[in-house]
Amino acid sequence: MRIIVEFVQMCHKNGVMHSDLKPENFLFANKKERASLKAIDFGLSVFFKPEIALLHFPYEQFNKIVGSPYYMASEVLKRNYGPEVDIWKTEQGVAQAIIRSVIDFKRDPWPRVSDNAKDLVKKMLDPDPKKRLTAQEVLDHPWIQNAKKAPNVPLGETVRARLKQFSIKNKLKKRALGVIAEHLSVEEVSGIKRHFK
């Protein structure tokens, strides 16, 4: 979590809004236990003026609907957003892998999750972008700061089952896209190639 938020913070400090953060866009460099995490797919990224965004508001407003619908912050649909959408997407990506789309803190596995962790999730998913945490505020949050002191409580089979469902869904999605691509006409393929170039 810290590595992902540090990546977001570095992007934002350098005036880059990724715009499509999700678990699929983070890959390990290799299969080793301590492999470094790499961010990929900057295809929807945009540049912004970080000196304005650091003030949190006002900032440059973006109005294109971009990103994966499952991880999209509500303000993207309203066509009025800034780099704070990356914080929503970061947490939504982590949360989706565990809890689907609606957070019910009474539902398994949340009763075993610390109050600090739940507090961080709530603040990262605040629907009001003005109140949502910045990357720096996430890094300063007590749950991140005290991660080494946090108890290592197994979250059980529920989380493992949901992570497996998430993995299967991604494999199915890739296969479905492959089938679609195989059945495109020559004209459709040339149009896609033209757009890509």
CB 66 within 8 A of CB 20: yes
* Annotated catalytic residue within 20, 41, 104, 126: 20
The number of C-alpha atoms within 13 Å of 183 and in the hemisphere containing its C-beta is: 6
Helix (H) or strand (E) holding 17: strand 16-17
Structure tokens at 57: 């508001």
Residue of 81, 94, 104, 78 lying closest to 138 (CA atoms): 94
Active site residue 86: no
Which residues are known to be catalytic?
20
